[in-house]
């Protein structure tokens, strides 16, 4: 199951990740253990998910060696200064019970409470990025990157920092595929990660997606995950049942070039599309 992409620094990142968004701390431990049991080796969490403690317990109790796992967390979008970012990284490591994470990201280009602000937060993001660079140099993070950043936000970091972002994690699914941003990231050697490949469940309601899934004799979820993988991105599906976790790893089929083009251009499914206009 484990296929990887190569980061700028030569490290490998598994292309199929287990997402833990909205999985509460009291149940996420068992979920992480089950995900690892069925083969996931990339676990994605964040400070704002408030489940780092449970994720860390799941990793510890999984019985898998730490160096066989790729663990991601994210600095809260509300943190936009160096001091708080630096402290938050240490707190995340403490909660996870880990000496290092494999990847740490700035969770969003703007604080969640100020998504519609005209402020681009360029200066503030450079402050947070400074803290991430220090964590990287100190071995607290094996790689650093961003999440929900647009081209201009990434370029700001590239233009003003010694180390560019290695990853950009963004909402990406059939019906909301930011091809321009994906191509920009690829051009700059940045791994693109697709979160919510099933569009928070809305993909199951789309007749086009369901129809094409039936054509390949796969589930809607499997089609959605495979789609993001064939875009050359890391895919981060979420599931709480071990049955769905297993199902989401069974991706031994190929979407045709014609169907990929059709799905990429699908314009009758607008969930999430306006996010990048904020």
The residues annotated as belonging to the active site are 49
Tokens of 157: 């970091």
Q: What is the CA radius of gyration of the chain?
A: 18
Residue 67 has what DSSP assignment?
G
Cβ contact 204:229 at 8 Å: no
For residues 273, 132, 42, 115, the Cα torsion angle rounded to the nearest 10 degrees is: -20
Q: At what angle do helices 220-230 and 257-265 cross, to 10 degrees?
A: 100
Residue written as tokens 């681009």?
120
Nearest to 72 by CA among 36, 90, 47: 47
Angle at 164 between CA 2 and CA 199, to 5 degrees: 50
Residue 118 has what DSSP assignment?
S
Cβ contact 58:30 at 8 Å: yes
Residue written as tokens 């402020």?
119
């Amino acid at each position: 199951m484990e296929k990887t992409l190569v980061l700028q620094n030569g490290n490998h990142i598994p292309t199929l990740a287990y997402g833990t968004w909205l999985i509460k701390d009291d149940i996420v431990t068992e979920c992480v253990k089950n995900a690892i049991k069925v083969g996931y080796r990339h676990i994605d969490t964040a400070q704002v998910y408030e489940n780092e403690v449970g994720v860390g317990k799941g990793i510890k109790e999984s019985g898998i060696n730490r160096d066989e796992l790729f663990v991601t967390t994210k600095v809260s979008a509300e943190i936009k200064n160096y001091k708080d970012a630096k402290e938050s990284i240490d707190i995340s490591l403490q909660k996870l019970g880990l000496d290092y994470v494999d990847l740490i990201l700035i969770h969003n280009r703007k604080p969640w409470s100020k998504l519609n602000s005209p402020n681009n937060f360029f200066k503030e993001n450079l402050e947070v990025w400074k803290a991430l660079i220090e964590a990287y140099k100190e071995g607290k993070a094996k790689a650093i990157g961003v999440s929900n950043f647009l081209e201009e936000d990434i370029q700001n970091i590239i233009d003003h920092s010694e180390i560019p972002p290695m990853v950009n994690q963004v909402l990406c699914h059939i019906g909301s595929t930011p091809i321009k941003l994906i191509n920009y990231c690829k051009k700059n050697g940045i791994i693109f990660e697709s979160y919510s490949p099933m569009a928070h469940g809305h993909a199951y309601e789309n007749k086009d997606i369901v129809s094409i899934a039936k054509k390949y004799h796969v589930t809607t979820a499997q089609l959605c995950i495979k789609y993001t993988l064939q875009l050359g991105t890391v895919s981060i599906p979420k599931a709480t049942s071990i049955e769905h976790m297993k199902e989401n790893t069974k991706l031994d089929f190929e979407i045709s070039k014609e169907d990929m083009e059709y799905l990429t251009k699908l314009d009758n499914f607008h969930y999430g599309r306006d996010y990048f206009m904020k």
